[in-house]
Structure 1
Amino acid sequence: MTDVIDDNRFGDYRAKELLGEGTTTRTWAAEQVSVGRMVLLEELKESAAGERAYFLADVRAKAAVEHPLVGSIYEAFTEGELCFYTEELLPGKTLEKRLEEGETFDPPNFVHILRCIAEANEYHEAHGTGTSSFDSGSVFVDDQGVVRIKNLAVAGGRIPDHSLRDILKLGSELEPMLKLNRPGGTRCLTLLSWMRGEGVPKPLEWNEIRDYCEQIEQQLTEPSGMEAPPTAAIRPMKGKRNNILFAGGAVLFLALLAFFLTSKGKKEQVAGVREASWVAVEGGLFISEGGLRFRTGPFEISSTEVTIGEYAQFLEALEIVEEENRTIYDHGEQPTVKAGHKPDDWKMLYETAQKKGIWGEHEVTIDSPVVGVDWWDAYAYAKWKKGFLPNLEQWMAALLAKTKAPSKIPVSDWLPVSENDLDRTTDGLLGLAGSVAEWTSEPRPNPSNPLGESLWVIAGGSYLQPAEGANTRGWVNDRSMRRPDLGFRICREAE
């Protein structure tokens, strides 16, 4: 509706154009006369005076939203029969309008828009803000690609299915706006299908959508130092979802997707234990995100944490040798009261992993990172493998080697290690931000108490203690400590 109004005043505002009309409200493009700016004015109809309390409650909910992507509320006015509020008139055109005009977006622009949508909705989730239905008409994009979101907040708090409602709808509505046969197009298309719940137990959540969009954006804008294109995937939550590999090449991706669908998403049946791969780290000067400067020499580090299957091989090897020789891999300071290197509840954990069962609400396999190990166990395993535990500087060097923003690596759950893990560095190291925390080899002083005693360092976040993700550090004085979210990875000399 586009009726032109010559002089329809609402206090300081002059209505210019009627943009829409509902059962209880009218929406105007209006000019705020005193400052000469255009605003959006929402008027409560006189015939709906009985809805005034609900109308103003929604206005208060909108005014409480403070997010740079979401339109701002300017003021509300109620006096006599007049009741209205004004808000920011967002620039550009809605995605709905652009779709009507036949406009489409290249994958980099498309995934940027989708990430902005996810970030705005994450904000609403975090603040418990209820919203009216979100669709392509709620998103404005100007000619410079700047994205803004209509303020859809409503009174009454957030209902659990608000996000599900909007994700399902957008998964369908946005697909015609994507230019296919462009780099990243296949990944974006599959992301939309996941949002619709296709091929997965349930649709994605907003934080997963945002994480995956960031990964695609990084892949499309930053060349990787890897020999093959980096992979990306939405990380399943607590073993309830299935993995899918998004490879750089469309042919490879489609082949893997076909396999995934025909196998109904079940994890690949791998005979035996997967072999760990190694990532070379060149020596040199490193600077952490917090400004810490340090140097290391060259070395190689395992791309994944040591798994249950790998650790089982170690224990089986110890069983084979004569009892008096089973301590040959022990550290010289290991307490004499420590007998063997079996983790907490090892028998039950290993049997559950072999059956691909549930352990502590998590699906575990022999490819899940081993947990419940103390420092002495980790040291002995590394020595058995003719390697060593990384010290803190080596661990951080591996994290920083080719990854520009370690703090942005998504935290993963405790799940079987997989090359399509979103919790990965540019070099392909998995699980540094989440999965399980990791023992390091030597004590270091805590920067918060530089004059204090040097303690043993646990590096990285975990599924139980995500803290600062890959930048998480912990200091303990007990090398015999065991936790259900604590494991390790190993290093070896550079070849």
Structure 2
Amino acid sequence: MGPGRRSGLRCRWSGRILLSKHCGRGTMGQWRACAVARSEHGIGNNFRTRSQQRFQSREVAMEGIMLGPYFVEEQIGQSQWGPVYRAMQTAVNRPVALKVLSADRIAQPGMVDRFLASARQAAKLSHDGVVGVYEVGTDSGNYYCAMELMDGPPLQEFLRKQDQPGHVDEHRLLQMIIEVAKTLEFLWKNRVPHQVPQLSNLLTNKAGHVKMINVHPDDQPASASPDQDREALGVLVATIANQVGLVSQRVGAFVERLMDSESRRRFHSLAEVIAAAEALDRELFPVAPAKVVPPPPVKRRSGPLAIAVGVVVLLAMMGGIIWMARSLWRQSGPASQVRPADAGTMVEVPGGEFIYQNGEKKTLKTFYIDRYEVTIAEYKQFLDASYKTLMREHPFAPARKDHTPANWDLLLRAIQNRTLLNEAWLTWDSPIFGIDWYDAWAYAAWRGKRLPTEEEWEKAARGTDGRFYPWGNEFKDVCGWAGCDQLFRWNSVYQFPGDRSPYGVIGMAGGVSEWTDTSNRRMAIIRGGNWASTNLLVTTRTESAREWRSDRVGFRCAADAEVK
């Protein structure tokens, strides 16, 4: 008998929930629940940690590619089927969790059919407590399942009281019990076979809710009864709570009753669990009644003349305040800058040999490249022209391609009103961003130019001596990009002449990274650092899907002969 339990004597509460009493004996459901809880004890949200994934997954990384209608951003976990990625559904700009069937699983007979069937079955469920499944699909031999993105912390962190270390957030704990019990009740009412609640199938989101995932039992036996679910939930909550910290005696007694399968005090249904948890939550964390504001006293009506005078005075005062505020606001923005005489010009890069990447020697013909990155003002000219005439498009561009950058209306409004966009200043001379590879290609074609190949870009940036930075081999924050002040992340392309290559090309280390013409049917190479990067080496290169858009990527043009 543990501390804090009654045995004829009044004992002091220890702050810990007694598990041995329930895991040491009882029903097979309790024993299984305790085994599951103990085996998962200490593991995070739904998936393994990133460090574990690197050693346990041999999958080829998919970050930066399009998988069906989804742009894959980064791996966030590992499921029983394979890696799980955070992705963006580009058509509607919706973040999702993308579960991909691993190559090892695909090779197993019947596994593809099981994966698709499981996802389709899960998609039929519609409940606030179940993680939504949007669709399943296949692309280039890869099988995927798009799901609701649960972006909250692991359950241990979710239940930790932030303002009182070593204690459990009991309000969240009770809310979690209520939400999971309601989900289980829904599953039983609809006769849906499911796993018992455990760490591997409960996820949290930033809104503070807990939902079940992987409801259908694939490699595990289905729950035998609501009682088994109730006991498993109790063991799980007790295990996590004991790991996180202390709980009050009232909450501890409630959780112990949740695990109880023998005494007369045990809960006899999930509905009883929900009602008891809600009552205890209301008692321990009452909602403050709304403050009633008495109506203002009735005053004697003023004459029409007094009212008119008062309105005029009030409007004048408000106008003066707004004028002063706008004046101060405008003054706090980026200082206006005169465009240099060489704005809009191209630079000749002589043909010949140069050092590429880490020592490889390559030879290029003479070419020309824009001295500066394409600005917002220049790209707007292209858009205005595209509304009046049919533009030349890349052969593989999507049908009826819209070249309007992401958040274009907000961007224009920020410039015209001298307000912030995403807490940063913009000017007409800021580099264009939020465009994909097809947009950059179409703009270059409209100008009678093309995108530079990645080899051309690198030679224009480093010259022939294999230097590390456009200005030499020593790092110097000559352009203010390292640790860039977020308020001025999109500075004018003319702002930092110190970011100059041997040929006089400006902004190849900072500003925005740049699309190049080097690509295949799906992917294209991006070169150079950007305002958010601490790596300004001219050898910096990444590969992304042609349809990808970012506030860190723009472009400049090239040509075989100078275009004025």
What TM-score do you get using the length of structure 1 for normalisation? 0.40
Select the structure of larger CA radius of gyration.
Answer: 2
Normalising by structure 2, report the TM-score: 0.36
Q: Which structure: greater strand fraction?
A: 1
